[in-house]
Amino acid sequence: MKESDLSEGTPSKGAPSKGAPSKGAPSKGAPSKGAPSEGAPSEGAPSEVGVPRQASASGAVRHARVAIIGSGLSGLGTAIALSKAGIHDVVLLEKESALGGTWRDNTYPGCACDVPAQLYSFAFAPKADWSRAYAGQEEIRAYVEETSARFGVTERVCTGAEVEEARWNDDEQRWELSTSAGPFHAQVLVSATGPWNEPVIPDLPGAERFAGAMFHSARWEHEHDLRGRRVAVIGTGASAVQFVPEIQPRVAQLHVFQRTAHWVLPKPDRAISALERRFLGRVPALRRALRAAMYYAFELVGVGTRHVGAMRQVERLGRLHLRRAVADEQLRRALTPSFTLGCKRMLLSNEWYPALGAANVELLNTAVKEIREHSVVGADGSEREVDTIIFGTGFRMTDLPIAQRTFGREGRSLAEVWRGSPRAYLGTTVAGFPNFFMMLGPNCGNGHGSAITLIEAQARYVVDTVRAMGEQGLGSVEVRADVQETFNEQVQQALTSTVWNAGGCSSYYMDANGHNAAIFPWSTIEYRRRTQRFESRDYRVRAAVEKN
């Protein structure tokens, strides 16, 4: 790892002082005096420093050199990287009324990150005073808001601006966007919507007839009091592992429907003392060393995921954790996975197993077949009367909604081009879609480390490309189809022997056609090397057209 990748950068010149936007952000779609006027660059002065602007739904076209869809960590990291490179004509289009992405949307009880906080923060914006080793949702959201304000990004965010369609105009060499707040034009388009954007709610027969409350964990209904309720939880993935222990003491009865048992490992979480926080704040070298040590430790885990036999050895820790936490042999058997550790997302929890063993909790080892007016019916015929249903069924990871709204050079959408199997070059650029970048795109992810590492690598790649376009007078760059195809062939070949493809499970890493569309099969060190710089030989490049 290069020293610069662990450095603690400072805000760019002219960045506003700290001041995160309040949670009472303006409502979606309301007009704002801070919206840029037609033809003005996106960094026009806002009405209040540190507060996102709301795009007014006027007919005037607003222009920017770079438009970023989404204002979560991906959008934020890209905007800051561009700003640090002197590229300030940037706008972030946010459909909601506040920035924050997945850490704004997921507010379910117990919501937290499963990556250590020291790694789940930007290298250029370290935070010394995390309260826990693994940060919770509120603290991460505050970090996102504070970092956005600190680096002057917040006022570039236009809230209430959902992108309804994005089309490439090849003659004008620009992206033309229709949004809920009016039209935008941009030379470069960055999709930073992320894979944790759109919740999956299974299409179960009878759901429309259910008489009680029913919601997804990512759209938690906090006004619905769970005390004394009979609750069904459908799904036992990463979200359920966190919220089930939180709601178990409050409900009268909890029925957990488990289609597949997951590997759950101990979570080495703890509170960080005030003394430790002060020490980390005063000794930056120690903080950098701690971050680097964690990074390389996680990379060693990544090596294991590429060798099925190695992960089967790590399973011993999971079995020991299960045996110590669950005394009931029948329950323990139902909670023992049938696939190799790492094939699905590895889960961390110290409370999950004890919660399932509580007197008011029942684990039903079956998928759900049907929902009735007052009950949930399992595929095995079991039926449980409930008044609340909570879905912990994850997100549309490989079926991204933005793919249906983005149209490339030939007029076809991403969804039409992909036909159920997302493909890109370095998980970032797509043949047929000039000047288009995807953050955390196809075959970019990993099952062991921090998404921040990938975001920073991709953001650097976007910056290098945009800078090269300016220096070389290029109007458009589009990855060559043969380069993309060769890359994806290598990826799929390398995945063959990994735990993700040979671990004996089906997971959200797999797309509709059975291809692994999520995982980068090599180390993040290798990913960062490959995205170090823009290589024009890999792209179809066109000189900028002269404007009248």
Question: Where does the pLDDT of residue 3 fall: very low under 50, low under 70, confident under 90, or very high at 90 and above?
Answer: very low
Q: What domains can you pick out in the chain, each with its CATH number? A: 30-198+397-543 (3.50.50.60), 207-270+277-391 (3.50.50.60)
Assigned token pair, 185: 């034009």
Q: What is the DSSP letter of 404?
A: G
- Using only the alpha carbons of the chain, give its radius of gyration: 24
Query: Residue 547 — very low, low, confident or very high, per pLDDT cuts 50/70/90?
Result: confident
| Residue 41 pLDDT grade (very low, low, confident, very high; cuts 50, 70, 90) | very low
Q: pLDDT tens digits, residue range 336-368?
A: 999 999 999 999 999 999 999 999 999 999 999
CA atoms within 13 A on the CB side of 547: 5
Q: Identify the CA nearest to 153 among candidates 9, 61, 50, 273.
A: 50
Give the predicted TM-score (pTM) of the model.
0.89
Q: pLDDT digits over 204-214, tens only? A: 999 999 999 99
Range list of H helices, 155-283: 238-247, 274-282
- pLDDT bin (cut points 50, 70, 90) of residue 4 is very low
- Tell whether the torsion through CA atoms of 45, 94, 544 and 479 is positive or negative: positive
- Mind giving me the DSSP string for 89-135? -EEEEESSSS--THHHH---TT-B-SS-TTTSS-TTS--S--SBSS-
Distance (Å, rounded) from C-alpha 464 to C-alpha 536?
11
Nearest to 185 by CA among 207, 199, 169: 169
With left for phi above 0 and alpha for psi between -120 and 50, is residue 327 left, alpha or beta? alpha
Q: If you search the block for the tokens 């903080």, which residue do you land on?
A: 287
Q: Report the C-alpha gap between 356 and 246 in whole angstroms.
A: 12
pLDDT digits (tens, 9 = 90+) for 454-507: 999 999 999 999 999 999 999 999 999 999 999 999 999 999 989 999 888 888
Specify the residue for token string 């998980």: 427
Question: Quick one: which of 372, 525, 538 has its CA closest to 454?
Answer: 525
Q: Which of 190, 187, 193 is nearest to 63 (CA)?
A: 187
* Average pLDDT of span 209-229: 98
